[in-house]
Amino acid sequence: MEGGDGTAGSVRTQGRRRGLRVGVAVLAAAGLGWFLVVERDQVLAAVDLLVGADPVWIAVGSVSSILSIVVFAAVRSVLVGASGARFPLGRATTASFASGAIAATLPAGGAIATGYMVQRYRESGADGGAAAWATIATGVVAPTVLVFMTLTGYALAGEDPSVAVAPTLVAGTLLVAFFVVARRPGLLRAPARIAVGSWSGIRRRIRGRPAREPGSLHDLHDLHDLHDLHDQADRAADRFVASFGAVHAGLGRWSAAWALQVLSWFGEFVSLVAAVAATGGSIPSDPATWGWLLAVYGTAQLAGAIPIIPGGAGQVEAALVVGLTATGTDASTALAASVAFRLMSHWLVVPIGWVCVAALRRQGADVPRRPTAA
């Protein structure tokens, strides 16, 4: 069977990835169990703090988290508009909530959520290249702003920012690479052609045909199919590069996108401050403490961006507990604040997001399937 070896290899790769994720999940569960046993008193105290959390601060944090997503949707709307397409804020907000829920709950949710947003961009009138441009631009602006906010926090706190060196290098590299490619879109032709004419696509066209003797006329027919696919890949890559290169965002649009992204991250940071205040912690009273809290927030969000568990579950909470205790917050308050923050900024979004998924589906917007081997 054509492509049998490739399919088997793909299945083995998926199996190894699944095994890695299961192993990480088991280790995380074991670590959580150990923590619950060893730190039982702290956990019980944290539960008491959560139960008695100040409802006013919880409301402030929840509203701030929701507004953060609305502002992030505005970033998407601004960047998609660079292609001439119209992505209204209302639809951008609905799609942003929906993609957030997908990313938080589904295996490979980040990739599926990206495909989901690309579909929404296409529906707004952006073609393939323009949708890719908006996706990449958003993916560059958001982490870059977060990294520099984190560095600002370390600077205000007077701490060594070396922990953020790696994310800074990654963000800087992405930023430079994006603007180089934006000015010379022809650099994308080769990877675009490879993507369009991937072997998975080729296998889908010729799979199911019986094995044949080398040099047979049937082989010539298969080669003709492959030649057609390569031609299609060339044409599709050319269209993609042309549409990508046709997108031009002026200084005003870029300034709006960067400013809105700062506001979006700041809104979520306010949610963390509200979580600390709601669970009995003290609001910072000096620039150094504010800076340290900002650094803790940024570092935790960067830790959650590592795609180990959907939504960064456990990763963000652990980073927040470590960071908050380093500021002098007692362990039970730090644990309660981290859980309250995640409830407001992450898990609150999930049910809202799935309602948005259902609403968009009624309008014909479906969730793309997880990529599988051909």
**Token pair in block for residue 62:** 């929840």
Half-sphere exposure of 207 (CA within 13 A, CB side): 13
Under 8 Å between Cβ of 136 and 192: no
Asked whether residue 323 is domain-assigned, the answer is: yes
Secondary structure of the chain as H, E, C letters: CCCHHHHHHHHHHHHHHHHHHHHHHHHHHHHHHHHHHHCHHHHHHHHHHHHCCCHHHHHHHHHHHHHHHHHHHHHHHHHHHHHCCCCCHHHHHHHHHHHHHHHHHCCCHHHHHHHHHHHHHHHCCCCHHHHHHHHHHHHHHHHHHHHHHHHHHHHHHCCCHHHHHHHHHHHHHHHHHHHHHHHCHHHHHHHHHHHHCCHHHHHHHHCCCCCCCCCCHHHHHHHHHHHHHHHHHHHHHHHHHHHHHCCCCCHHHHHHHHHHHHHHHHHHHHHHHHHHHHCCCCCCCCHHHHHHHHHHHHHHHHHHCCCCCHHHCCHHHHHHHHHHHHCCCCHHHHHHHHHHHHHHHHHCHHHHHHHHHHHHHHCCCCCCCCCCCC
Asked whether residue 370 is domain-assigned, the answer is: no
Asked whether residue 367 is domain-assigned, the answer is: no
**Token pair in block for residue 180:** 């180089």
Pick from 349, 265, 253: which is nearest to 299 by CA? Answer: 265
Asked whether residue 126 is domain-assigned, the answer is: yes
Asked whether residue 291 is domain-assigned, the answer is: yes
Q: What is the pLDDT of residues 308-348, one digit of tens each?
A: 555 556 678 888 888 888 878 888 888 899 999 999 988 88
Q: Please report the sign of the dihedral spanned by the C-alpha atoms of residue 346, residue 349, residue 354, residue 359.
A: negative
Asked whether residue 69 is domain-assigned, the answer is: yes
Using only C-alpha atoms, the chain has a radius of gyration, in whole angstroms, of: 24
Under 8 Å between Cβ of 261 and 145: yes
Asked whether residue 371 is domain-assigned, the answer is: no
What whole-number distance in Å separates Cα of residue 330 and Cα of residue 89? 41
Domain count, the chain: 1
Asked whether residue 45 is domain-assigned, the answer is: yes
Give me the domain span that covers residue 329. Answer: 4-362
What whole-number distance in Å separates Cα of residue 43 and Cα of residue 51? 12
Query: What string of pLDDT tens digits covers the 374 residues of the chain?
Result: 444 444 455 545 555 555 555 555 555 555 555 555 545 566 777 778 888 899 999 999 999 999 999 999 999 999 998 888 889 999 999 999 999 999 888 877 788 898 899 899 988 888 877 888 888 888 888 988 998 898 888 888 887 666 566 666 766 777 677 667 666 666 655 665 565 555 344 444 444 444 444 444 444 444 445 455 555 555 555 565 665 655 666 778 888 999 999 999 999 999 999 999 999 888 888 888 899 999 999 988 887 776 655 555 667 888 888 888 887 888 888 889 999 999 998 888 899 999 999 999 888 666 665 544 44
